[in-house]
Amino acid sequence: MHLSEQEIIRRKSLEEFAKLGINPYPADLFEVNASAREILENYERQKSDYRQISIAGRIMSRRIMGNASFAELQDETGRIQIYIKRDDLCPGDDKTLYNTVFKKLIDIGDIVGVKGYGFTTQTGEISIHVTSLTVLSKSLRPLPVVKETVDDKGNVTRHDAFTDPEQRYRMRYVDLVVNPHVRETFVKRTQLVNSMRQYLNAKGYLEVETPILQPLYGGAAARPFKTHHNTLDMTLYLRIANELYLKRLIVGGFNGVYEFSKDFRNEGMSRFHNPEFTQIELYVAYKDYHWMMELVEEMIERAALELHGKTQVKVGDKIIDFKRPWKRYTMFEAIQHFTGIDISEMDEEALKKTCNELQVPMDNTMGKGKLIDQIFGEKCEPHLIQPTFITDYPVEMSPLAKKHRSKPGLVERFEAICNSKEIANAFSELNDPIDQRQRFEEQLELGKRGDEEAMTLDEDFLRALEFGMPPTAGLGIGIDRLSMIMTNSPSIQDVLFFPQMKPENPVAHMTENDFESLGVRSDLVPILQKLGITSKAQLKEMKASKLFNDVCGLRKKMKLDNVKNPTMEEVEGWLK
Partner RNA sequence: GACUCCGUAGCUCAGCUGGUAGAGCAAUUGACUCUUAAUCAAUGGGUCGAGAGUUCGAAUCUCUCCGGGGUCACCA
Q: How far apart are CA 537 and CA 514, in angstroms?
A: 12
Query: Minimum CB separation from RNA for residue 510, in Å?
Result: 11
Query: Minimum CB separation from RNA for residue 380, in Å?
Result: 13
Of 1-9, 224-232, 337-345, 457-465, which segment contacts RNA by CB under 7 A? 1-9
Q: How far apart are CA 94 and CA 220, in angstroms?
A: 70
Q: Rule CB under 7 A: say whether 399 interacts with RNA.
A: yes
Q: How far apart are CA 476 and CA 415, in angstroms?
A: 9
User: Are 456 and 501 spatial neighbours (Cβ–Cβ below 8 Å)?
Assistant: no
Pick the binder of RNA from 160, 298, 342, 348 (CB under 7 A).
160
In the window 354-393, what residues touch RNA (CB under 7 A)? none
Q: Rule CB under 7 A: say whether 70 interacts with RNA.
A: yes
Q: Rule CB under 7 A: say whether 154 interacts with RNA.
A: no
Of 78-86, 198-206, 274-282, 343-351, which segment contacts RNA by CB under 7 A? 78-86
User: Are 212 and 239 spatial neighbours (Cβ–Cβ below 8 Å)?
Assistant: yes
Q: Which is nearer to RNA, 156 or 234 (CB)?
A: 156
Q: Rule CB under 7 A: say whether 437 interacts with RNA.
A: no
- Phi and psi at residue 312, to the nearest 5°: -90, 135
In the window 79-108, what residues touch RNA (CB under 7 A)? 81, 83, 85-87, 104, 107-108
Closest to 455 in 3D by CA, of 219, 231, 252: 219
In the window 187-226, what residues touch RNA (CB under 7 A)? 220-222
Q: Which is nearer to RNA, 300 or 307 (CB)?
A: 300
Q: Which is nearer to RNA, 55 or 307 (CB)?
A: 55
Of 26-34, 42-50, 55-63, 288-296, which segment contacts RNA by CB under 7 A? 55-63
Q: How far apart are CA 544 and CA 572, in angstroms?
A: 6
In the window 106-135, what residues touch RNA (CB under 7 A)? 107-108, 119, 121-125, 127
Closest to 36 in 3D by CA, of 134, 139, 125, 153: 125
Count residues near RNA (CB under 7 A): 81
CA dihedral 406, 410, 412, 415 (to 10 degrees): -140
Q: Which is nearer to RNA, 120 or 567 (CB)?
A: 120
Helix (H) or strand (E) holding 228, with range, is strand 226-229
In the window 259-278, what residues touch RNA (CB under 7 A)? 265, 267-273
In the window 2-21, what residues touch RNA (CB under 7 A)? 2, 4-6, 9
Contacting residues for 206 by C-beta, under 8 A, at least 6 apart: 254, 256, 257, 258
Contacting residues for 208 by C-beta, under 8 A, at least 6 apart: 246, 249, 254, 257, 258, 259
Q: Which is nearer to RNA, 118 or 566 (CB)?
A: 118
User: Are 367 and 449 spatial neighbours (Cβ–Cβ below 8 Å)?
Assistant: no
Q: Binding string, 452-491, against RNA, x = CB under 7 A?
A: -x-x----------------------------------xx
Q: Beta 53-65 vs 68-75: how paired, if at all?
A: antiparallel
Pick the binder of RNA from 11, 63, 540, 556 (CB under 7 A).
63
DSSP letters, 108-127, are TT-EEEEEEEEEE-TT--EE
The amino acid sitting at 105 is L
In the window 529-548, what residues touch RNA (CB under 7 A)? 532, 534
Pick the binder of RNA from 45, 51, 153, 159 (CB under 7 A).
159
- Phi and psi at residue 500, to the nearest 5°: -65, 130
Q: Rule CB under 7 A: say whether 182 interacts with RNA.
A: no
In the window 492-531, what residues touch RNA (CB under 7 A)? 493, 499, 501-505, 507, 509
Query: Minimum CB separation from RNA for residue 146, in Å?
Result: 7
Q: Which is nearer to RNA, 309 or 503 (CB)?
A: 503
Q: Where are the alpha helices (DSSP H) in 316-468?
A: 331-339, 348-358, 368-379, 433-448, 459-467
DSSP letters, 154-165, are --EEEES----H
Q: Which is nearer to RNA, 333 or 453 (CB)?
A: 453
Q: How long, in residues, is the chain? A: 576
